[in-house]
Amino acid sequence: MKIKERLIEGNRKYIAEGRRELREQTALHGQHPYAIVICCSDSRVIPEQIFSSAIGDLFVIRVAGNVLDNHQLGSIEYAAAHLGCKLILLLGHTGCGAVSAALSGHGDGFISYIISDILEAVGDVRDPDQACRLNVQHGVNKIMEEFSEHPEMPDVQVIGAIYDIQSGEVTWLE
Ligand SMILES: [Zn+2]
């Protein structure tokens, strides 16, 4: 099967599997996601599955290395201030290629922007697990700083967590 055909077939299956009512309801009456999730683009990290979520449940922002710049912050702002999400989860994961690239100093072109953000977060740390945590913590801190004075987001909680790509478990950072 050609690659595009695989996508077409996948969509056919998706439609055939149902969920029509939920799609109609959210299309007609709008979305009210209960949480914002910022996570890596890694194909093994699928928030909707990790948290057993349905259409309209999660407002997901995915970017390699779960780094944050103004586009991601704008997306967070939209979901928190306009859709009413009260919880922001920054979700890192084990075996993150972006974190590994940062630690080994490999990454040219546009990837270098991602790597420099991760390096800023991890400093001199070269242990992948510790670096992953620091990268998540850095993102959590950044969100809290950027929105600390935001009048429409006074009671929004920001938390960090790490997803284990092998066991499927989420470890919550305190
Ligand atoms: Zn990753």
Whole-number Å distance between alpha carbons of 52 and 24: 20
Whole-number Å distance between alpha carbons of 170 and 147: 25
Distance 54 CA to ligand 1 centre (A): 23
Distance 77 CA to ligand 1 centre (A): 23
Whole-number Å distance between alpha carbons of 51 and 33: 13
pLDDT tens digits for the chain (174 residues)?
Answer: 799 999 999 999 999 998 899 999 999 999 999 999 999 999 999 999 999 999 999 999 999 999 999 999 999 999 999 999 999 999 999 999 999 999 998 888 999 999 999 999 999 999 999 999 999 999 999 999 999 988 888 789 999 999 999 999 999 997
Distance 95 CA to ligand 1 centre (A): 7
* pTM confidence score: 0.94
Classify each residue of 135-160 as buried b or exposed e, where b means 16 or more C-beta atoms within 10 Å of its C-beta: bbbbbbebbeeebeeeeebeebebeb
Give me 162's structure tokens.
């790490």
